[in-house]
Chains A and B, each alone.
Chain A
Amino acid sequence: MYRVLSVLITGLFVATACGAPVTPSARIRVENAWAVPSAAGAPSHSGMAGGEKSSAVYFVIVNATNTPDALSGATTPVAASAELNETLRVGDVAKMVPVPRVEVPAQGRVEFKPGGLHIMLMGVTQELAVGKKIAVTLRFEKSGAMTLDVPIQLEKSK
């Protein structure tokens, strides 16, 4: 009996020392992503590929690790540019300001939502109709790149 127990305990220590596989929940993850619809832009209007059309991408970042991380950028094949932005309310005026990076604390979460933090897509090159999905790649300083399959919706899912 003691021999069996000691083998089991030794086995457990060895597994821990070797680094047991990390469960998916113990990493940065992104949930509930969605983006607002947009018409396709006309490249000739602004000189920017996709013209003047815009969209915004929203999601929740959950950091289940013990290390802080930060979102530092985004890209998508459906727009000329994807920038981290925040809408600020100054009195009753809504103003958008660029954000260079967004910290995600250890064991913390950050929500990108309408009227707040968002990824602004500038120069949308194709129609983003409700029900369609687009690829958006988020770039984290420590966790690296993560590509999302983002549905186009009128509002956040309930």
Chain B
Amino acid sequence: MARRMWLVAGIGLLCLAVILAILQIVIARVEPLPVYMALPDVTLTDQAGRAFPLSQTRGKVVVMGIIFTNCPDICPLITARMKQIQQRVQTAGVSNQVELVSFSVDPERDSPAVLKQFGTIYQIDWANWVLLTGSADQVQTLVNGLKVYVERVYYRDGTPVPPSAFDEANLKNAYYSINHTDRLFLIDRKGNVRALLPGSQTNVDEAMPLIQQLVRE
């Protein structure tokens, strides 16, 4: 009787070992994600006013999103998706390996203090999330490097008008919104963009396996 028990246990262990070996082969065969572009090496400024070289994120997987704080519709949605990702990353126990970065495409109005206020209003958890701004040139370097579309749209009395509708003095004070690329970038530990997600429409369930894959690399 005892002999039969040992035999059954032995066969069970053997089956388990075979299953684990197959799983390891399947995981190893996951296709590597493509490299779309390299994250430009530019120094921006964070919400606390500190210099933030993007090279500082090397060694971590980065989830990068585009915002401007006066954006009424899309940016709150992008921020909401990033909050969900942050929570899922925390649940997966890899918060110390993943950094969330939102950069403003409106550096003229989005000072570090304005970004900090935005973070407070949107209840951002700063543990592994940074909001960045910079000079117009610095932000433009990042925008160009990531092939981001940015278009300023001026309004008068609630209606879009061309910039030529204002004289130089009034143009400086005119209300404007910004049309921009709605995208999240997944960046690997070496600073390469490896996945492009549809920003405000990102499905977090589909994003998480990609993030996990980059964490495992």
Q: A82-116 toward B: CB 8 Å interface, digit per residue (1/0)?
A: 11010101001111111000000000000000110
- B180 smallest CB distance to A (angstroms): 7
Q: Which residue of A lies closest to B66 (CB)?
A: A94
A33 within 8 A of B: no
Q: Considering only CB atoms and an 8 Å cut-off, how many residues of chain B contact the other chain?
A: 40
Question: Which residues of chain B have a CB within 8 Å of any CB of chain A?
Answer: 69-74, 76-77, 80, 109, 114, 117-118, 121-123, 149, 151, 153, 155, 157-160, 170, 173-177, 179-183, 196, 198-201
List, in ascending order, chain A residues with CB within 8 A of B155's CB: 122
Q: Considering only CB atoms and an 8 Å cut-off, how many residues of chain A contact the other chain?
A: 37
List, in ascending order, chain B residues with CB within 8 A of A93's CB: 149, 179-182
- Say whether A154 contacts B123, CB under 8 Å: yes
- B14 smallest CB distance to A (angstroms): 47
- Say whether A114 contacts B183, CB under 8 Å: no
- B135 smallest CB distance to A (angstroms): 19
List, in ascending order, chain A residues with CB within 8 A of B122's CB: 37, 154
Residue in A54, A85, A114, A130 whose beta carbon sits within 8 Å of that of B70 in the complex: A54
A120 within 8 A of B: yes
Residue in B114, B177, B198 whose beta carbon sits within 8 Å of that of A92 in the complex: B198
List, in ascending order, chain B residues with CB within 8 A of A87's CB: 73-74
Q: Of A4-12, A19-27, A39-47, A137-145, which stretch is located at the interface?
A: A39-47
- Say whether A94 contacts B180, CB under 8 Å: yes
Residue in A53, A81, A114, A129 whose beta carbon sits within 8 Å of that of B76 in the complex: A114
Q: Please give 11 more A-B residue pairs, beta carbons under 8 A apart, in addition to A92-B181, A93-B182, A118-B72.
A: A39-B117, A54-B71, A56-B72, A92-B198, A93-B149, A98-B159, A114-B77, A115-B77, A120-B73, A154-B123, A155-B80
